[in-house]
Amino acid sequence: MINITEKEQDQEQILKATHFGKITIGDKELPCAVLEDGTRILSSRAMFKAFDRTKGILNSEFVTGENLPVFMTANNLKPYVDKALSTGEYFSVKYISRDKRVLDGYKATILPTICDIFLQARQDKILTQNQEPLASVSEILVRSLSN
């Protein structure tokens, strides 16, 4: 009988990244990967870089149970985030890198979703002064994605 450690057992359930690269969106080069099931991933670092933020901690106690970038957990954004995540889809992903480390990332599909949240919140005039730059970055990202 083969003894499998808890860590090895957890890693068996976590998908491996099969392809690694960088995607250029606007003037930003973002680290990305593709998992063995075809899911496209932006690294945690890439998500923060996309929004000109330094990497922060993840808030795993957020209402939906999702791991979201910390800049998405502000109370004024909660209704927009709840609506965007109402599909029940998980955007936070753990995956195994080339060097066998377990990394945190996000499904690439969350990037335009986050942009839409900030753009709608700006249109509704509920952003704080500190959040305004995130809406500006969102506009640039959305325009870049459309190209």
User: pLDDT by residue (tens digit) across 30-89?
Assistant: 999 999 999 999 988 888 899 988 654 444 333 344 567 778 889 999 999 888 877 766
pLDDT, greater one: 68 or 3: 68
pTM across the whole model: 0.78
Here the contacts of 135-139 (C-beta below 8 Å, separation 24 or greater) are 137/50, 137/51, 137/52, 138/51, 138/114, 139/115
Q: Quick one: pLDDT at residue 88?
A: 64
Confidence label for 104 from pLDDT (cuts 50, 70 and 90) = confident
Residue with tokens 């003037």: 27
